[in-house]
Structure 1
């Protein structure tokens, strides 16, 4: 269970109660205004992230290797979308846990991320296999 879903609203109610105890309705209005401002900031940030992500191809990232280096466990999906500026290409079914998304770059390197409850659980970087070419013969040494 995600305790943030319970603790944040309870904390806000306690804050509103303390504001009423000390400053009556003027305190409630001031704290309520602060809470509304906080909610608006989060909403604006989310809309900015989604607008940027909508302008890029689905599942595209500039560099899969750099994305792999920047990822950390328990990172929220929203932060990963903000880093890539692209929505991941969904590999799992809708509403199925864990959610699996893939990001690919121009070199066909891919980062596959697994999210459980909206948080990054594990990820893998897959790079394409480049076949080795035999060394070229030196010019002038053809026997």
Structure 2
């Protein structure tokens, strides 16, 4: 169960109640102003990440190897989208768990990420075989 969905609203109510007990209605007004400011900051971050991601091709990242190095368990999908600045190519059926997304770079390397309930559970880096490219390496 995702406790953040319960604890964050309860914390907001608790802050408002404590502000009312300490300062009355002016305290509630200040507490609610702070809560609304916090919500607006998160909304602004969300829209900026999605705006940047909307300007790039779906499933593209600059470097799959660097993305692989930055990933860690528990990252949210929004955080990974922010790191890649692109929406991932969805490989799993819609609304299925775990959600599977792929980001590919210019060298055909790709990172496949599994998100369980919005959090990164596992990922895998795949790099193409350099010998299969038909002599793309240096001549010696």
Q: For this structure pair, what is the TM-score category when the shorter chain's length is used for normalisation?
A: over 0.9
- 1:101 aligns to what SS in structure 2? strand
CA RMSD of aligned residues (A): 1.6
Match of 2:93 in 1: 93
Q: Secondary structure at the match of 1:131?
A: helix
Note if 1:84 corresponds to 2:57: no
- SS at 1:111's partner residue? strand
Moved over 4 A (4+): none
- Corresponding residue for residue 6 of structure 1: 6
Structure 1 residue 121, shift from structure 2 partner: 0.2
Structure 1 residues 85-139: Cα deviation after superposition (integer angstroms, max 9, x where no partner): 0000000011100000000000000000000000000000000012175x968xx
- Deviation of 1:22 after TM superposition, in Å, equals 1.0
2:8 counterpart of 1:24 = no
Counting only pairs closer than 5 Å after superposition, residues 98-109 of structure 1 correspond to structure 2 as 98-109=98-109
Matches within 5 A, 1:1-143: 1-131=1-131
User: Aligned pair count?
Assistant: 137
How far is 1:50 from its partner?
A: 0.2
Deviation of 1:13 after TM superposition, in Å, equals 0.4
C-alpha distance in 1 between matches for 2:78 and 2:21: 37
Superposition TM-score, scaled by structure 2 size:
0.94
| TM-score, normalisation: structure 1 | 0.92
